[in-house]
Amino acid sequence: MIQRTLVICSAGLLSMTAHAESLVPSPSVPNIAFDDGWAFTVGAALEYESEYDGSDDYGVEFEPAIGLQYRSGNQAWFLEGQELGWRARARDQWLLQAGLRFEGGREESESDALTGLGDTDDELMAMVEIRRGFGANWDNWVAGRVMAGGSDIGALGVLAAGHTFGANPRGTGIDVFAFTTFGSSAFINRDFGVNEDQSAGSGLPVTDIDGGYRSIGIGVIGRWELGNRWQFIGEAGYEKYSDDIADSPIALDDYEAEVGFSALYVF
């Protein structure tokens, strides 16, 4: 689970052509509503990533990309990928956002390595995030996010700090950031634990991991515009798991990496 993470050389065609400003001038915060009212995007995303958290098998996924925002001044309501929520820019240098996040489950059929473990259910989590920008265009920023759900999934905390190259009021440029995550026991064991029933079905040893430090990683997100209607997003990330997770029989690799590219048309 790399949090919000291909440096891509931008062609001369990718340029800032409109005068309206983004709600938050940061490539890692989606911005499609540059004026008050509704904005809608449709496009496609191509991702190369692990088949599941801890897998050593990687594959390419191609899927539609849809986004919806309603902006009113310095606040916006949004539906973006797996998240539905509200965000606002306060006192110019603060971003507050809250909402719901859909966390997909895991199917036993995804890999032979999961045989006997059963399926992991999808879950809905609440999320809250605070970000502080530094500089007129948020060239530097720090952020904290907390996500929490029911007892089956628990909670996850994320701390991040980043720098934006080519920062500007439109929110294009390249964000480079470092992050670390902390999870409850329930959250970590959902992906990497093996309970007694799963052990009996799979032959893997019972594994119960304590909550606490989960991972550390780096990410890159680039966002560019072509005219007023097209956005192009490239992202890459690397996440190194804690030693306790690396020792899990489910974690065939002690890290996760991903690369992705999206093209969006804004209505």
- Range 104-139 burial, b when 16+ CB lie within 10 A, else e: eebebeebebbeebeebeebebebebebebeeebbb
Residue 3 lies in a domain: no
pLDDT of amino acid 165? 98
Residue 2: predicted pLDDT = 56
Would residue 19 count as lying in a domain? no
Residue 179 lies in a domain: yes
| Residue 15 C-beta-side C-alpha neighbours within 13 Å | 3
In a domain, 28, yes or no: no
- Residue 124 domain-assigned (yes or no): yes
Helix (H, G, I), strand (E, B) or coil at 253: coil
Residues of the chain scoring pLDDT < 50: 3-19
Residue 27: half-sphere exposure toward Cβ, Cα within 13 Å: 30
Residue 98: left (phi > 0), alpha (psi -120 to 50), or beta? beta
pLDDT at 162: 98
Residue 13 placed within a domain: no
| Domain assignment of residue 1, yes or no | no
Amino acid (1-letter code) at residue 115:
T
> What's the confidence (pLDDT) of residue 220?
98
What would the pLDDT profile of 37-94 be if each residue is shown by its tens digit? 999 999 999 999 999 999 999 999 999 999 999 999 999 999 999 999 999 999 999 9
Structural domain includes residue 57: yes
Domain containing 230: what range? 37-266
Residue 104: give its domain's CATH number: 2.40.160.40
Provide the number of structural domains found in the chain. 1
